[in-house]
Amino acid sequence: MAGKDRILILGPTGAIGRHIVWASVKAGNPTFVLVRNTPGSNNRVNLVKAANPETKEELIESFKNSGVNLIQGDMNDHESLVNAIKQVDVVICAFGRLLIEDQLKIIAAIKEAGNVKRFFPSEFGLDVDRHDSVDPVREVFEEKARIRRIIEAEGIPYTYLCCHAFTGYFLRNLAQIDITVPPRDKVFILGDGNVKGAFVTEADVGTLTIEAANDPNALNKTVHIRLPKNYLTINEIISLWENKIGKTLEKTYVSEEKVFKDIKEASFPNNYLLALYHSQQIKGDAVYEIDTAKDLEAFEAYPNVEYTTVDEYLNQFV
């Protein structure tokens, strides 16, 4: 029996990259990460810091102890990037929003290396080919869509991974601004609160990404993570939370016009978060039909994966 594909994760210490690394190790894939000898940033968004408290240095030490292959290199050093890619079969990029354009360097290196079976560009959000978002999110989605078109034009085998709403960004604070735990008194709800959204823990994104990486049926397709028990409206989620704490929250419903105004007046990260919340909670960008010729629903493709439900996730805050 042939061994499992060797997987390289770029951006391995980020909010999602770390979970892909751990999932790859757990699945038994030979796992590689590209690391630089630079200190980690202390300027992480509070929500990200709360959901992923480990520092870069702690993660790298954990990777070493888990048998991950650390490759010293730099995205801006083409030769070292090509060298890293030549050692693996699958490349998964987990860059943040500010580094989306840097994937052009990865594409060039993959083309030169000539050995990659699959490339996962940095997506890990809403489907950038199916959205009605506003800036500053729209600009990032357009950059990601452009990367898709370049990958396809270059003939690079790919899988796009759309996981929608990380629990660390959307659920641990019930989509409220400037808090990192669910509110216990009052809550602001964008729109009428009745639009379905798709929620998933970062760890489960890692698991399902590696499932897709090991699945030949995911080649040149988009994998959509919309897990049945986590495909809920914000009103349904708030009701779950109220039942857990035995209290009814004071609810304020925010019109789309007010949301637009708040986005324009806010600075980063709040403007970005509000635009993401608007995309899912008002525009319904997680609600669509898939094309089975080019799409896979993760829960149907990987039915044996046990995932953390929204109900289970909220228990940690009671």
pLDDT in tens, the chain (318 residues): 468 999 999 999 999 999 999 999 999 999 999 998 766 555 566 777 777 778 889 999 999 999 999 999 898 999 999 999 999 999 999 999 999 999 999 999 999 999 999 999 999 999 999 999 999 999 999 999 999 999 999 999 999 999 999 999 899 999 999 999 999 999 999 999 999 999 999 999 999 999 999 999 999 999 999 999 999 999 999 999 999 999 999 999 999 999 999 999 999 999 999 999 999 999 999 999 999 999 999 999 999 999 999 999 999 999
Cα separation, 205 vs 286, in Å, equals: 16
Cα 312 to chain centroid distance, Å, stands at 20
What is the DSSP-derived secondary structure letter of residue 158?
B
Residue 251 is a catalytic residue:
no
Cα 271 to chain centroid distance, Å, stands at 19
In angstroms, the Cα distances linking 292 to 152, 221, 289, 297 are: 18, 9, 9, 9
Cα separation, 152 vs 188, in Å, equals: 41
Write out the E strands in the chain. 7-10, 31-35, 69-72, 90-93, 118-120, 159-162, 165-166, 186-190, 196-200, 221-224, 231-233, 250-254, 295-297
pLDDT of residue 39: 60
Domains and CATH numbers, the chain: 7-317 (3.40.50.720)
pLDDT of residue 283: 98
Q: Among residues 231, 227, 249, 230, which one has the least CA distance to residue 182?
A: 249
Contact 162, 296 (CB under 8 A): no
| Alpha helices in 176-227, H assignment, sequence order | 202-213
**Exposed/middle/buried for 38, CB within 10 Å: 0-12, 13-18, 19+?**
exposed
Cα separation, 284 vs 132, in Å, equals: 8
Cα separation, 270 vs 178, in Å, equals: 8
The active-site residue out of 49, 64, 117, 144 is 144
The dihedral region occupied by 258, where left means phi > 0, alpha psi between -120 and 50, and beta the remainder, is: alpha
pLDDT of residue 47: 75
Phi, psi of 93 (to 5 degrees): -100, 130
Q: Is the pTM of this model over 0.85?
A: yes
pLDDT of residue 44: 61
pLDDT of residue 43: 59
Residue 223: beta bridge partners? 161, 296
The Cβ-side half-sphere exposure at 99, using a 13 Å CA radius, reads 14
